[in-house]
């Protein structure tokens, strides 16, 4: 490895990744890690200062007062670049939601193969929340109406997206007052593109107002629809034992890795992998069976519902192939690197694309269709099994950690109070007393420009020490899982005293895995329920809570961050800002950056900041939480007050000698 290149330890904190990167070097193949080193990012485009929206450019604005050929100023260009990224992110999430709505419609009308309505209770609750009649009707009739309602939200032209009624009342009013109530999902995304065409909206604040409306159509629209329907069709998650990291791949089985985002396909591959006919087929090929695992958000979808192990997060997709033990990597949509195909050619791995929307040159395409879902899933698995005989030299890292994922908001509600008094009261009370200082959602991607998993897990661990309860989704959740922070007692020795008491009392890990990235909608629901429970103000912006995406890289992350700000949250992105400007070279090139922080905070109570230094992220998170506590009139955080009750005593007791135990019980050491 050349001197100016990063070492394996600088690429990732994960030993499995380090081992595979060393193997990549030995085999002479590149990865996203090495390509990131080879390819310096453009400092002008990276700062949002390049406009390539029309054929007169690209215009790169690097001098004070300079404009594009059309006269566009730096702040207009940055706002346009930013909203376009948000629109793409919102489109990805929402198109995923749309496809699920079509699947629900097809299931309701008995047109699919292998799917059924698993969570009738959630179907009824969700349908009733929109006024759909649920009395004396079959689940299929209700599902048909709900599917119609949800499908119509994408093409709706006027009014408001139906799901926004699930936000706090005050928040809905604020959105009305600010003129950012999303009307229809597709409409807001299309309008973002229209407004940013050459010669349209050229007032940055006006552009960014529509960015808020577009992102809201994702968080309180497409993403929420995706989560609802996934739960209805595949089951609302509840805690289940799972595993994470490359060590989940098996030497003596056909390894099939599902990668991407939509659970429609992966759920059916799970079902097909358990089919006796497929198991027999694998045995006939000389394997013990089919071993399924996931990468990225598909991993999260099947991990939290069926306990199917996660092979890793975003930057593990190439590393899984590098083991040489993957017979097929089955992909659908989003976060799939084109590099997989070229890498797979060095091994026997077949990359199988399945979505009508995604083809990669050189990959095998087996198009998925929910009407023949099980048949196609079996065809995919047979293709993988047939490939088992072609396996060459393999190297599977031993690294693997257990975890308990599956903390849906429904389960959190239940776990706090049980079936008869399910409520958020205990959580609110714990925050109000200061046992829990506040809540942080740590979400988002991996980025090869930073050390894989380092920022996620460093921030997570430091906030835990400070009694901040953590909820996680997406690749951030898999990072914590790989570190062993999501397994009941295992991480509790690193947790602050008050939070530890809460985790022990309820029996939860200090980091709650809430699902995939579209499931950030679950976090919105939790925040809303905390508001409705009372005691923490009357809107989301009053709750001592912060959202962080320390290793973000995707446009979806920007959409998520923006709808969280619009919902009242303080959102911190790590790494670099796509609209940082270069204030040292071009004065006022950070106008937009300042606007999405101070400007948005005045309007929505939430703000967005890009902070590269993890210690600064932590400092600002805690400062924000403490500020919100003080504004609510809650006692200042004081860890000294907690950690001396309940299980602490029992655990200390268990560690004592018999004599010490007697002394502590009876006041003397009896013989
Ligand atoms: Ni989220 Fe999921 Fe991961 Fe980032 Fe990609 S998988 S939708 S975008 S990389 S967290």
Look at residue 655 in the predicted model and tell me its pLDDT: 74
Look at residue 671 in the predicted model and tell me its pLDDT: 46
N-term to C-term CA, the chain: 67
Return the ligand 1 atom nearest residue 335 CA.
5
Q: Where do the DSSP E strands lie in 515-633?
A: 545-549, 570-573, 607-610
What mean pLDDT is predicted for residues 617-640?
96
Ramachandran class of 110: left when φ > 0, alpha when ψ lies in -120 to 50, beta otherwise: left
Look at residue 505 in the predicted model and tell me its pLDDT: 84
Q: Is 303 in the pocket of ligand 1 (CB under 6 A)?
A: no
pLDDT band at residue 670 under the 50/70/90 scheme: very low
Q: Is 202 in the pocket of ligand 1 (CB under 6 A)?
A: no
Look at residue 2 in the predicted model and tell me its pLDDT: 43
Return the ligand 1 atom nearest residue 297 CA.
2
Note the CATH number of domain 74-234. Answer: 1.20.1270.30
Q: Is 481 in the pocket of ligand 1 (CB under 6 A)?
A: no
Q: Is 440 in the pocket of ligand 1 (CB under 6 A)?
A: no
Look at residue 1 in the predicted model and tell me its pLDDT: 42
Q: Is 337 in the pocket of ligand 1 (CB under 6 A)?
A: no
pLDDT tens across 388-404, in order?
A: 999 999 999 999 999 99
Task: Give me ligand 1 centre to Cα 453, in Å.
Answer: 13
Residue 3 has pLDDT above 50, yes or no: no
Count CB-CB contacts under 10 A for residue 37.
18
Return the ligand 1 atom nearest residue 554 CA.
8
Query: Within 13 Å and on the Cβ side, how many CA atoms surround 133?
Result: 4
pLDDT tens across 217-272, in order?
A: 999 999 999 999 999 999 999 999 999 999 999 999 999 999 999 999 999 999 99
Q: Is 335 in the pocket of ligand 1 (CB under 6 A)?
A: yes
Segments making up each domain of the chain, as ranges? 74-234, 242-390, 408-637, 643-671
Q: Which fold has domain 242-390?
A: Rossmann fold (3.40.50)
Q: Which two tokens stand for residue 70?
A: 């059309």
CA distances from 424 to 100, 123, 437, 533, 627 (A): 29, 22, 16, 6, 22
Look at residue 660 in the predicted model and tell me its pLDDT: 76
Bridge partners of residue 291, in order along the sequence:
255
Q: Which two tokens stand for residue 341?
A: 């195909």
Q: Which residue has the higher pLDDT, 171 or 651?
A: 171
Q: Is 336 in the pocket of ligand 1 (CB under 6 A)?
A: no
Q: Is 100 in the pocket of ligand 1 (CB under 6 A)?
A: no
In three-state secondary structure terms, 353 is strand
Lowest mean pLDDT segment, chosen from 104-113, 283-292, 485-494, 564-573: 485-494
Residue 179 has pLDDT above 90, yes or no: yes
Q: Is 296 in the pocket of ligand 1 (CB under 6 A)?
A: yes
Q: Which two tokens stand for residue 35?
A: 């390509």
Q: Do domains 74-234 and 242-390 have the same CATH topology?
A: no
Nearest CA to ligand 1 atom 6: 296
| DSSP symbols for 28-90 | T---HHHHHHHSPPPHHHHTT-EE-SSTT--EE--STT---TT---HHHHHHHHHHHHHHHHH
pLDDT band at residue 280 under the 50/70/90 scheme: very high
Task: Give me ligand 1 centre to Cα 352, in Å.
Answer: 19
Q: Tell me phi and psi for residue 244, to 5 degrees.
A: -145, 145
Question: In b/e form, how buried is each residue of 373-404, taking b as 16+ CB within 10 angstroms?
Answer: bbebbbebbbbbbebbeebeeeebbebbbebb
pLDDT band at residue 541 under the 50/70/90 scheme: very high
Return the ligand 1 atom nearest residue 443 CA.
10
Count CB-CB contacts under 10 A for residue 415.
18
How far is 201 from 199, CA to CA, in rounded Å?
7
Which class is domain 408-637?
Answer: alpha beta
Chain centre to alpha carbon of residue 26: 33
Burial of 596 (0-12, 13-18, 19+ CB in 10 A): buried
Look at residue 416 in the predicted model and tell me its pLDDT: 76
How far is 566 from 545, CA to CA, in rounded Å?
14
Question: Percentage of residues in the chain with pLDDT exceeding 70?
Answer: 95
Task: Give me ligand 1 centre to Cα 386, in Å.
Answer: 31
Task: Give me ligand 1 centre to Cα 548, in Å.
Answer: 14
Residue 365 has pLDDT above 90, yes or no: yes
Look at residue 419 in the predicted model and tell me its pLDDT: 57
pLDDT tens across 58-89, in order?
A: 999 999 999 999 999 999 999 999 999 999 99
């Amino acid at each position: 490895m050349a001197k100016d290149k990063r070492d394996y330890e600088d690429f990732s904190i994960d030993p499995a990744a380090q081992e595979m990167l060393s193997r990549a070097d030995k085999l002479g193949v590149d990865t996203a890690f090495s390509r990131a080193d080879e390819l310096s990012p453009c400092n002008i485009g990276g700062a949002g200062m390049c406009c390539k929206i029309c054929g007169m450019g690209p215009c790169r604005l690097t001098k004070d007062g300079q404009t594009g050929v059309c006269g566009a100023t730096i702040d207009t260009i940055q706002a346009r670049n930013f909203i376009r990224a948000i629109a793409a992110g919102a489109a990805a999430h929402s198109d995923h939601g749309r496809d699920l709505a079509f699947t629900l419609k097809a299931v309701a009308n008995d047109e699919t193969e292998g799917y059924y309505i698993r969570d009738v209770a959630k179907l009824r609750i969700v349908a009733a929340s929109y006024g759909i009649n649920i009395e004396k009707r079959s689940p299929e009739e209700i599902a048909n109406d709900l599917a119609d309602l949800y499908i119509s939200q994408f093409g709706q032209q006027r009014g408001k997206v139906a799901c926004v009624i699930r936000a706090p009342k005050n928040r809905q009013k604020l959105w009305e007052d600010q003129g950012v109530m999303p009307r229809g999902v597709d409409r807001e995304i299309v309008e973002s593109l229209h407004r940013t065409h050459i010669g349209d909206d050229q007032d940055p604040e006006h552009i960014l107002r529509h960015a808020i409306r577009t992102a809201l159509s994702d968080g309180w629209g497409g993403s929420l629809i995706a989560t609802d329907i996934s739960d209805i069709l595949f089951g609302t998650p509840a805690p289940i034992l799972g595993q994470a990291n490359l060590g989940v791949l098996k030497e003596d089985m056909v390894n099939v890795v599902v990668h991407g985002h939509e659970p429609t396909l992966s759920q059916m591959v799970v079902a097909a992998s358990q089919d006796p006919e497929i198991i027999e087929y694998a045995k006939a090929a000389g394997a013990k069976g089919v071993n399924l695992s996931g990468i990225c958000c598909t991993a999260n979808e099947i991990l939290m519902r069926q306990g199917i192990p996660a092979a890793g997060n975003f930057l593990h997709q190439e590393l899984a192939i590098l083991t040489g033990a993957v017979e097929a990597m089955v992909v659908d949509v989003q976060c799939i690197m084109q590099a997989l195909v070229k890498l797979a050619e060095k091994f026997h791995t077949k990359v199988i694309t399945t979505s009508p929307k995604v083809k990669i040159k050189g990959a095998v395409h087996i198009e998925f269709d929910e009407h023949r879902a099980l048949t196609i899933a079996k065809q995919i698995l047979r293709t993988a099994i047939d490939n088992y005989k072609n396996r060459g030299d393999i190297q599977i890292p031993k690294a693997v950690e257990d975890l308990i994922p599956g903390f849906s908001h429904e389960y959190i509600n239940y776990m706090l109070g049980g079936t008869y008094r399910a409520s958020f009261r205990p959580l609110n009370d714990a925050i109000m007393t200061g046992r829990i200082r506040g809540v942080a959602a740590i979400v988002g991607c991996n980025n090869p420009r930073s050390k894989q998993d380092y920022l996620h897990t460093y921030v997570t661990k430091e906030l835990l020490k400070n009694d901040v309860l953590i909820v996680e989704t997406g690749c951030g959740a898999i990072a914590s899982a790989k570190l062993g922070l999501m397994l009941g007692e295992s991480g509790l020795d690193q947790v602050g005293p008050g939070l530890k008491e809460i985790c022990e009392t309820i029996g939860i890990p200090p980091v709650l895995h809430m699902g995939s990235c579209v499931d950030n909608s679950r976090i919105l629901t939790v925040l809303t329920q905390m508001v409705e429970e009372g005691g923490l103000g009357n809107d989301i912006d009053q709750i001592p809570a912060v959202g962080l995406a320390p290793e973000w890289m995707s446009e979806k992350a920007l959409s998520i961050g923006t709808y969280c700000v619009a919902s009242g949250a303080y959102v911190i992105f790590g790494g670099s800002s796509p609209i940082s400007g270069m204030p040292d070279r071009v004065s006022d090139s950070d106008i937009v950056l300042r606007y999405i922080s101070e400007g948005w905070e005045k309007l929505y109570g939430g703000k967005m900041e890009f902070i590269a230094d993890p210690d600064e992220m932590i400092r600002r998170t805690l400062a924000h939480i403490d500020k919100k506590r003080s504004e609510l009139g809650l006692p200042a955080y004081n860890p000294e007050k907690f950690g001396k009750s309940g299980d602490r005593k029992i655990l200390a007791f268990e560690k004592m000698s018999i004599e010490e135990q007697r002394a502590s019980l009876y006041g003397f050491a009896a013989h």
